[in-house]
Chain A
Amino acid sequence: MNLVQDLCRQLDQMVNDQFDSVEFKAFLGVPLTMERGRFYVVQNALYTSNRRDCWGYVQGGAPLEVKRVIWQHESDELINDPRAGMDHFNLTVKQGEVIGLKREDFDNAQVPAMVQACFHAWHHIAMRGHWLTSYAASHMLERRNNGKIVKGGGMSFRVGKKFENELGINLKRMISLDVHVVADTEHSENISEMFEKYIKTPEDCERVLEGARESMAIDRAYRGALGFYMERIN
């Protein structure tokens, strides 16, 4: 097995392991009510904004060719995803209408303390790490959403199914979750291609793994925090 194949195998194992963590189990185990669903959708919009921050920072630190790949990636996210006919933030806001949310619910949303800490931690890796570390940290969150890699489905798929099973809202109506089931599969594959070109040594692998490990740790803390707050909503 070559260096990149072995690396990808480790990354795949890590994203699958996320779903066995206590934090993910706790988050996915919280029964959804409409209020909890609303909280999740608003928080997910803030998460999407944080992703835009981080990918910008990663673009800043990456080599030119990788900058271009990230710029294309951000086209869907920031400007217009042809799958949805709008950018991903507006997609989340539109999805909110299905569960009775308005634009101002997103504009006035507060970031809870534990979530804030996670957002800052992701910023820190994106801005301060070696570019391979930063790149891997952001990439892993899309890999963890890739249903071709995660057995049982990525995070968007699983949350979408919870809305379907527990609130009776068909996944197709949860347009942002539905788009991300596909979009993050494509995004994680496009971004992953760059590993083939830039991973040449065991040190390069270690940089990627460092970013992956740190980002997955923050992701567990983030999901644990969401579960914690959702449980307290009656």
Chain B
Amino acid sequence: MGAGSNGLDKMWKELVRMCNEQFESEPFKCLLNAKFTKLRAQHYSIQMAYYVQNRRDCWGYVQGSAPLPVKQIIWRHEEDELIGQKAQGKVDHITLAVKEGEVFGLTADAFEKTARMEGGEVCFSAWIRLSQKSWLEAIAASAILEMRNSAELIPGGSLSQRIGMIFERDLIIPMKKQINNSEHVVMDVEHAHLLMQVAKQYATTASAQEAILGGARESLMIDRIYRGHLADLMASLD
């Protein structure tokens, strides 16, 4: 994904480095070292559905502030997430998360009745605030979370992939039955390119690139806090 001149290549490498570094952080290690029981998987799954909903909030705000051609790119991105690809028999990602919950013994009702964890609520507010900043910071803040979930960019496996493997190991649920995780393993490889697609046209100056790096950095910080709260929630469910 080299972009060559104008510092874009350097910016891209830094973004990829930051994504990889997430997995070396204490909160990520804590979450990914947890042993998942059925109860923990259930709560993880429910909280992740809220996370997906917050992504929809943030991408909406980013769409609002971006230039028209970028709005069109985001609109198409949101089709997968919010609506699904009916022609290919693919449902939206919220429905997918709820459907995946069935393999952990969850009903749709459980998703509706379980509250968001407090730490998650705070992180969601922080992400929303970030999505209302300047559009380059905002788009970077949202897109970086998909880069962090791209197996193409994370040699040790994306977050969805790693969580999927833990479910496979601890709960003997094969990856193909984890329809939400396996969908994101594929989709976020594709979605991870969105930021560079936009940056090539709109981030040719040092200040624009700094805005992208700043938005990404702040979002990954919130991401670490969020994963830390998830790890704490898992630990509390014995």
Contacts and interface: CB of A to CB of B under 8 A. Distances in A.
A53 B65 contact: yes
Counting chain B CB atoms within 10 Å of each CB, the highest count among A54, A71, A87 belongs to A71
B82 A68 contact: yes
B56 A53 contact: no
A174 to B, nearest CB: 22
In terms of DSSP, what is the predominant structure of the interface of chain A? helix
Interface in B66-114: 66, 68, 71-72, 74-76, 78-79, 82-83, 92, 94
A72 B83 CA distance: 9
B143 to A, nearest CB: 15
Contacts of B59: 60
Contact of A127 (B53, B64, B79): B64
Contact of A71 (B64, B82, B128): B82
Contacts of B76: 79
A25 interface: no
Nearest to A48: B68
A55 B78 contact: no
Interface string A52-78: 111111111110100110111011001
B22 interface: no
B60 interface: yes
A225 interface: no
Contacts of B83: 68, 71-72
Contact of B75 (A58, A61, A74, A127): A74
B57 interface: yes
Query: Which of A62, A64, A70, A127 counts the most chain B CB atoms within 10 A?
Result: A64
Contacts of B132: 127
A126 interface: yes
A64 B68 contact: no
Interface of B: 53, 56-66, 68, 71-72, 74-76, 78-79, 82-83, 92, 94, 128, 131-132
19 contacts: A55-B64, A57-B65, A58-B60, A60-B57, A60-B60, A60-B63, A60-B64, A60-B131, A61-B61, A67-B56, A68-B82, A68-B92, A71-B82, A72-B83, A74-B75, A78-B71, A79-B76, A87-B72, A127-B64
